């Protein structure tokens, strides 16, 4: 489902205009991004939680040349589905 499809469905289900739903979506998206960028987790009851985790630095190998390279540490966002979402999907 794309952003447009999600907004259309939410507007239809809630009775709100697409403009209002788009503004709410954009505000939530900005709040998610700023919280995760600050290293905070985001939890949505019944849906799941997002957290920022750190991947340690490691040695990697270039698949073409076989040369060993250093891969620096990096951060990534992980998602854990909540129980209600898991139950609905299964």
Query: pLDDT at position 65, please?
Result: 94
pLDDT at 37: 95
pLDDT at residue 8, rounded to an integer: 95
User: Dihedrals φ, ψ of 60, to 5°?
Assistant: -125, 180
* Model confidence band, residue 84 (pLDDT cutoffs 50, 70, 90): very high
Task: Sketch out the chain's domains with CATH numbers.
Answer: 3-89 (4.10.520.10)
Q: For residue 34, count CB atoms less than 10 angstroms from its CB and return exposed for 0-12, middle for 13-18, buried for 19 or more.
A: exposed
Give the model's pLDDT for residue 22.
96
Whole-angstrom CA distances from 75 to 31, 34, 36, 39 are 19, 15, 11, 10
SS (H, E, C) 27-65: HHHHHHHHHHHCCCCEEECCCEEEEEEEECCEEEECCCC
Residue 57's pLDDT is 97
Give the global pTM.
0.76
Model confidence pLDDT, tens digit, residues 55-76: 999 999 999 999 999 999 999 9
> What would the pLDDT profile of 12-37 be if each residue is shown by its tens digit?
999 999 999 999 999 999 999 999 99
């Amino acid at each position: 489902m794309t952003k447009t499809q999600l907004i259309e469905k939410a507007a239809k289900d809630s009775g709100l205009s697409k403009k209002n739903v788009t503004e709410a979506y954009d505000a939530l998206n900005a709040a998610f991004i700023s919280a995760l960028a600050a290293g905070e987790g985001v939890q949505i009851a019944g849906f799941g939680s997002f957290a920022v985790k750190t991947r340690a630095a490691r040695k990697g190998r270039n698949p073409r040349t076989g040369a060993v390279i250093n891969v620096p540490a990096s951060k990534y966002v992980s998602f854990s589905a909540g129980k209600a979402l898991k139950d609905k999907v299964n």
